[in-house]
Each structure stands twice: as C-alpha cells, then as structure tokens.
Chain A
Amino acid sequence: MSSTIETLRRMAGDIARNFEAMGHDQAVLATADHIYQFWDPRMKAMIFADDHSKLIPIARDAIEHLAEKGHPGSQTRATKWNDVDGVGRSDAG
C-alpha cells in the first residue's frame, strides 16, 4: 500500500502529465490551479513540505508556484464555478 505522500506525489504527477500538452508554463499554472481548487489543506501542506525533487518538473513548479505565489486563478473551464446566483455550470454526476 502506498503512503499518503507517495499518493500525493502520484496525483500531482498525473495532473501535470495530463496538462503537459498545454506547454510547460501553462501546464504549471493549470496544475497549481487544479490542486488549489480540489485539494484539502492537509494534502497541500504535506506536498508543500515534501522533497520536490521527487516530482516531475511541471508538478514541482506548480507546487512551488502555489507555495510562493498562491492561486494563479482559474486556468480551465473545469475550475470555473457558478456564481452565487448563477446557473448552467455543473460538475460530476
């Protein structure tokens, strides 16, 4: 069974690899955005505190971007949400 930090590294790497086609810089922002929007604070804290050399480059740069500069804003439509009085967008189901 994987440890939690191994799982988090794999998750960050999976996200990064699937954004890779955007090009490195955009993929870094999209990965950072994704982690910011979907990860629980303790997961973020664990990966911030981890040895980032164990991450693939896009994931490493995304984590460092998040840790140092914070959320880069929504990078894909998947991370845009309905406003308080908004309709139309939906999510999983």
Chain B
Amino acid sequence: MKDEPVEKHTIAVLVDNEPGVLARVIGLFSGRGYNIESLTVAEVETGKRLSRITIVTSGTRMIIEQIKAQLNRLVPIHRVSDLTDEGPSVERELALIKVAGRGEPRVESLRIADIFRARVVDSTNESFVFEMTGSTGKLDAFIKLMEPLGLVDVARTGVVAISRGAKGL
C-alpha cells in the first residue's frame, strides 16, 4: 500500500458560511495529517449564506477517498465534489507580483509580462506590480522568470476551480 502513487486533486466544498466552518475543515486536514497545497474560501451565495472552499490536496487514492468522506461527514457541509475525478474543470489562480529594478531588467520584466498577458496594476520609477491570472503552472513559470529581474514579493490566491459544461455543484 505504501508504494501507491500520490495523486493531486482539486476538491470543491459547499459549506454553510458560519463561524468556525473553515477551522473545521483545516482542523480535519491537520488533525488527520492530510496535505493542503492550497485553500481558498469566499461566500458565493449571500442569500443562502453558503461559502465555497476550493482545496488542492495530494495523497494516495485511499487517502483522497478518505479526505472526501471525512469532509462529507462534517455537519455544516452541503456538498463535496472532486473536480479532478468528475470530468474536465477549469482551474485559475490570481497572483500579484512585485518586481523592482531599473534599466534593462525593468524593461525585460515588462516584455515578459506582455507575453504572459500580465497587467501592470501599480508602477513607480523603480517597480511594477503585475496582476496575473492563469493556471498554477503558468503563474509558477512567470514568477520564475521574474526572479533574476528583481522579484520582491508575491501574493497568490490559491486555486479556484469550476467544472466545465452546464452542470453546477
């Protein structure tokens, strides 16, 4: 069982937006030793007070199934959906990337930003803040390219994801 391959899964969870619900989810992961690669949460249906949590996690197939079963068992949880398993989905992440420098590196960062379709949302004579949306891999690639050009700071939202097609969660 130990040699089973580790899989990466994106799980969407619809929960009551009530105090402590995020702590329950996080406590479940830490208490049972599961990984969290990223986690995002925000209210999505204000009228019904429902929040959507998107968790990217990894583990063997047995662990992934355990994670879903354990999440489903939490009382304030309405629905757990494994987007990785349940057909194609779209995953996006937003990052704000601050790069400082003058001269050629500064120009170069702007040029690469253009290729990656990152937007400049703040600029001074010696810095830019780029805003970029995309897959995690695309963000990783862009950030890596910024490193030698004066990368100062990165803020990322973590992955949000939704299934493709007409059906909802």
- Answer whether A and B are interacting partners: no
Residues of B in contact with A (beta carbons under 8 Å apart)? none
Residues of A in contact with B (beta carbons under 8 Å apart)? none
